[in-house]
Amino acid sequence: MDVSAASAEPASAAATEVAVELRSVTKRYGAVTANDRIPLTVRGGEIHVLVGENGAGKSTLMGILSGTVRPDEGQVLVRGEDVTGYSPRAAIVKGVGMVHQHFRLVGAFTVAQNIALGFEPRGRFRTLDAVASRESARRVSDQFGLALDPDAVVNDLPVGLQQRVEIVKTLMRKAHVLIFDEPTAVLTEEESAALFTILRKLREDGRAIIFITHKLREALALADTISVLRRGKLVVTLKPGETSVAELGTLMVGRAVAAVRQENGAGTAAPASREAAPLLAVRGAALRPKALHSVPVRDLTIEAHPGEVVSVLGVDGNGQQEIISLLTGTERPDEGTVTVNGRDLTGQRPGAFLAAGLGVVPADRQREGLVLPMSIARNLLLDRRHERRFFRARGLLLNERAASAYAREMMEKYDIRAQRPEQPVASLSGGNQQKVVLARELERDISVLVAAHPTRGLDVGSIEYVHAKLLELKARGRAVVVVTSDLDEATALSDVICVLYRGAIAGVVRPPFSRHELGILMGGK
């Protein structure tokens, strides 16, 4: 099912009480005003969609509603009761639950333990009733079509399944106000459509749903009401029938936004030089599962030539993480070879891959791509300790002045929106964090870039920027390998799409691309 084709049904007439009211809510972080006197009203039996760029203030606003952020000014009312400044636990007691974009899970715990955390069922002597925890997790995940193994350890799950754990955890709290922060960022169209069915049922039950998304087609398909935030202010609140994807994009970023595609049109690709030797080649690679829920990789062969974008496209959980580990040297293949720039690097460490000219944009920018407490300047210089202009005493001493000057240059060149180079990268929006990763990798002397889910969780303006940078790299004669679950992204960027299913390449597709054909291959049919 294509979520863009689904239409939102009208909310129940009986469930129209005001569930949430925000009155002139303001939040400042130093000189930055994240939320500027924002008013917002959400009724029971309504799906209220919030859209806006990264950094527009959506997550801060919902943090205030969910109790994790204290406002500087304004009021928060839940069912008419003033709860301004309440705690996260008090928010849950008041019936407000939130599914966060960046998962709040304990990686070493099982699915059942994470879902029960803070509200554990007790047995005799007040000890944890593990059986009840497991059964509750299984029952709720099955009820809502989000199949999960309650005994699975969260660290062993791919990103898509971790997102499901967050959703089930919130649904078990029986909240009457449900906040979803980018819940479909890691879901396929079919999974998103299934989630939308669940949300509509919850709406019919009279619950108020606040849904944050960057996907504008999704907003129009799901919403009863849409509110647009830009740079901390509420720009407009309207109905889906009163607007369009193009207008929403303009309202979000303050200018017209166009999808970035290959120069000769949507669904086609400029010819690459396949006569030249590939810059990255994986031939006949196999990888046995290293963890309980990892996927075996079988007979993997991928080549990326100069001036070529190759996408590895598949539904999350079909071996993407395992393939990324092979492409970047973090796992040694049990069979087959991996070469970069003609050098056989099979079995060598990631440092050898980087030295050979490989750049990497990891799947999880916060856990794998950045050191969040460190400054922008220091994150831009990771893996560059050998450069004397930045480091002295064999990489032990940082030249702070040179690092700061370089960071300012990169902030301007890559449009990294921050106050100063010394600002912790944790304080940046997701889009700006991704720009820091891109700046670091693209400023190195690389011949091939492996970009894993490069636009996951980004807004339309940031997606446009990242895609443009990848195509610029291709135009310079480099090779780009994009690992993605986003069909639109793959068709927009690729010269070749390798469709992944259960750890193997189900098909290699060249332009013109058929969404139907790609969807069938992704489903293993």
Confidence class for position 3, pLDDT limits 50, 70, 90: very low
What pLDDT was estimated at residue 450?
97
Report CA torsion sign: 432, 434, 436, 442. Answer: negative
Highest-pLDDT range among 45-49, 99-103, 106-110, 488-492: 45-49
> In terms of CATH, what superfamily is 258-357+445-525?
P-loop containing nucleotide triphosphate hydrolases (3.40.50.300)
Question: How deeply is 311 buried, as exposed, middle or buried, from its count of CB atoms within 10 A (0-12, 13-18, 19+)?
Answer: buried
Q: Which of 468, 470, 491, 467 is nearest to 480 (CA)?
A: 470
- Higher pLDDT: 367 or 272? It is 367
pLDDT surpassing 70 at residue 380: yes
- Percent of the chain past pLDDT 70, that is, above it, reads 87
pLDDT of residue 299: 93
Task: Enumerate residues 6+ apart whose C-beta is below 8 A from 211.
Answer: 47, 48, 49, 50, 180, 183, 199, 219, 222, 223
Cα angle 119, 125, 127; round to 5 = 40
Smallest CA-to-CA distance from 224 within 247, 196, 249, 250 is with 196
Predicted pLDDT at 267: 37
DSSP label at residue 117? T
* Host H or E run for residue 311: strand 308-313
CA pair distance 76, 210, nearest whole angstrom: 15
Quick one: pLDDT band at residue 173, thresholds 50, 70, 90?
confident
pLDDT at 72: 96
Q: pLDDT tens digits for 44-63?
A: 999 999 998 877 889 899 99
Count of Cβ atoms closer than 10 Å to residue 445 Cβ = 6
In sequence order, which residues have a C-beta less than 8 Å from that of residue 314 and are 6 or more positions away? 320, 485, 499, 500, 501, 522
Q: How confident is the model at residue 385 (pLDDT cuts 50, 70, 90)?
A: confident
Neighbours of 143 (CB within 10 A): 11
What residue spans define the domains of the chain? 3-95+175-253, 106-173, 258-357+445-525, 372-443
- Which residues, in sequence order, are bridge partners of residue 343? 340
Cα 437 to Cα 429: distance, rounded to the nearest angstrom: 13
Q: What is the pLDDT of residue 2?
A: 43
Q: Are 24 and 75 in contact (CB under 8 A)?
A: yes
Is the predicted pLDDT of residue 488 greater than 60, yes or no?
A: yes
Q: CB under 8 Å, gap of 24 or more: what pairs does 87-94 form?
A: 89/118, 91/65, 91/66, 91/67, 92/173, 92/175
pLDDT at 6 > cutoff 70: no
* 322 or 192, greater pLDDT: 322
Structure confidence at residue 478 (pLDDT): 95
Banded pLDDT at 346 (limits 50, 70, 90):
very high
CA dist., res. 316 & res. 485, Å (int): 6
pLDDT for 386 beyond 60: yes
Q: Are 344 and 337 in contact (CB under 8 A)?
A: yes
> Is pLDDT at 290 greater than 80 in this prediction?
no
| Backbone dihedral region for residue 85 (phi beyond 0: left; psi -120 to 50: alpha; all else: beta) | left
> How much is the pLDDT for 209?
95
CATH topology of domain 3-95+175-253: Rossmann fold (3.40.50)
pLDDT at 305 over 70: yes
pLDDT digits (tens, 9 = 90+) for 451-460: 999 988 777 7
Cα 93 from chain centroid (whole Å): 29
Measure Cα distances from 366 to 60, 286, 309, 363, 427 in Å.
Answer: 18, 28, 25, 9, 11
Q: Report residue 100's pLDDT band, with 50, 70 and 90 as the boundaries.
A: confident
Is 3-95+175-253's fold the same as 258-357+445-525's? yes
Please give the average per-residue pLDDT across 101-109, as a whole number.
80
Provide the token pair at 75. 């009021």
Q: For the chain, give the number of residues.
A: 525
Statement: residue 406 has pLDDT above 90: yes
The mean pLDDT of the chain is 85
Mean pLDDT of 109-137: 72
Tell me what pLDDT residue 353 has.
Answer: 95
Least confident of 36-50, 79-93, 256-270: 256-270
- Can you list the positions of beta strands (E) in 364-478? 391-392, 397-398, 448-452
Q: Name the residue among 322, 263, 320, 311 with its Cα closest to residue 509.
A: 311
What was the pLDDT predicted at 11? 42
Task: Rank 113-117, 134-138, 222-226, 502-506 by mean pLDDT and report only the highest.
Answer: 222-226
- What are φ and ψ of residue 517, in 5° steps? -60, -45
How sure is the predictor about 14, in pLDDT bands with cuts at 50, 70 and 90? very low
